[in-house]
């Protein structure tokens, strides 16, 4: 079983829709969770990070962590065509020598 | 602004030559940096972990003599693709964990084309 599972999509939504992107993980020791956005032919860009269970909001983006279910989500409200990209989740156990585990990425297209 | 800088963003080289890609942490010291390779529409593939003061750790299947990694300082790691061949053409990305919390930041990526 992979440490981190992420549905690769592709996911297509109309402009203005709420997008839900998800990752599941198997290691209950993961404490630190990150979401990245990668546009075509660019390096991944950090969107949000969180240490704890619950929700963290930043503009149109909300990161949600449910440690009991080993499940994290990224919600995008009022999606825009500029949100079309691949979204990667990542997680780690703190203080373990920089070991990070990435999902494979979900490709999102927002249709105008 | 950028936290990790990668250079060059694009490079074309002739088959058989070597090419060096630099990865710099801009406002923090990075004892560890990571190098990835990514094929079009595919996920990141970790190639190696660059360690300041010691040898790089390569992932299984990655040729260490082909992909030379040197962690030259606490802010610089380099990846040298030696005796490049067309099949080495790819998108190469570096990343570094930034304290506190060690959030991973990625460079902008480097497109290598071997002709």
d(CA A89, CA B59): 21
**A34 at interface of B, judged by CB pairs closer than 8 A:** yes
Per the CB < 8 A criterion, the answer to whether A36 and A55 are in contact is no
- Place A98 in a pLDDT band, splitting at 50, 70 and 90: low
User: Six-digit token pair at B79?
Assistant: 């990846």
Q: Reduced to 3 states, what is the DSSP secondary structure of residue B96?
A: strand
Å between A72 CA and nearest CA of chain B: 17
**In terms of Cα–Cα distance, which of B105, B68, B60, B103 is closest to B88?**
B68
User: Six-digit token pair at B62?
Assistant: 């990655």
Cα torsion B28, B33, B34, B40: sign: positive
d(CA A90, CA A25): 10
**B28 at interface of A, judged by CB pairs closer than 8 A:** no
Cα B94-B96-B98 angle, rounded to 5 deg: 155
d(CA A64, CA A33): 10
> Which chain B residue has the Cα nearest residue A102?
B44
Q: Which residues of chain B lie closer than 8 angstroms to A46, CB-CB? A: 103-106
Task: Tell me which of A98-107, B29-38, B90-99 is least confident.
Answer: A98-107
What is the pLDDT at residue A96?
A: 60
pLDDT at A1 over 70: no
> Which chain A residue has the Cα nearest residue B93?
A43
Q: Answer whether A102 sits within 8 Å of B44, measured CB to CB.
A: yes
For chain A, positions 40-79, list CB contacts with chain B under 8 A: 41-46, 49, 51
Q: Reduced to 3 states, what is the DSSP secondary structure of residue A82?
A: helix
**B10 at interface of A, judged by CB pairs closer than 8 A:** no
What is the pLDDT at residue A90?
A: 92
Average pLDDT over all residues of chain B: 93
pLDDT tens for each residue of A14-33: 999 999 999 999 998 898 89
What is the pLDDT at residue B59?
A: 94
Q: Rounded mean pLDDT of A42-61?
A: 92
Q: How much of chain A, in percent, has pLDDT values that exceed 70?
A: 95
Per the CB < 8 A criterion, the answer to whether A38 and A89 are in contact is no
Half-sphere exposure of A40 (CA within 13 A, CB side): 7
What is the pLDDT at residue A69?
A: 94
For chain B, positions 42-61, list CB contacts with chain A under 8 A: 43-44, 49
């Amino acid at each position: 079983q992979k440490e981190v599972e992420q549905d690769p999509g592709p996911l297509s939504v109309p402009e203005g829709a709420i997008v839900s992107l998800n990752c599941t993980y198997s290691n209950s020791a993961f404490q630190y969770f990150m979401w990245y956005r990668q546009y075509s032919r660019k390096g991944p860009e950090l969107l949000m990070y969180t240490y704890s269970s619950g929700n963290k909001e930043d503009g149109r983006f909300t990161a949600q962590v449910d440690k009991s279910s080993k499940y994290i989500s990224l919600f995008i409200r009022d999606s825009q065509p500029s949100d079309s990209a691949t979204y990667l989740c990542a997680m780690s156990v703190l203080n373990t020598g920089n070991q990070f585990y990435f999902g494979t990425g979900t490709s999102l297209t927002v249709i105008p | 602004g950028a936290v990790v800088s990668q250079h060059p963003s694009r490079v074309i080289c002739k088959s058989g030559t070597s090419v060096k890609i630099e990865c710099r942490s801009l406002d923090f010291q990075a004892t560890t940096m990571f190098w990835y390779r990514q094929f079009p529409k595919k996920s990141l593939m970790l190639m190696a972990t660059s360690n300041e003061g010691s040898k790089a750790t390569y992932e299984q299947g990655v040729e260490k003599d082909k992909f030379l990694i040197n962690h030259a300082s606490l802010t610089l790691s380099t990846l040298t693709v030696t005796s490049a061949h067309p099949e080495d053409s790819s998108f190469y990305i570096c990343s570094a964990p930034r304290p506190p919390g060690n959030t991973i930041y990625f460079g902008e990526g480097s497109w290598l084309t071997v002709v």
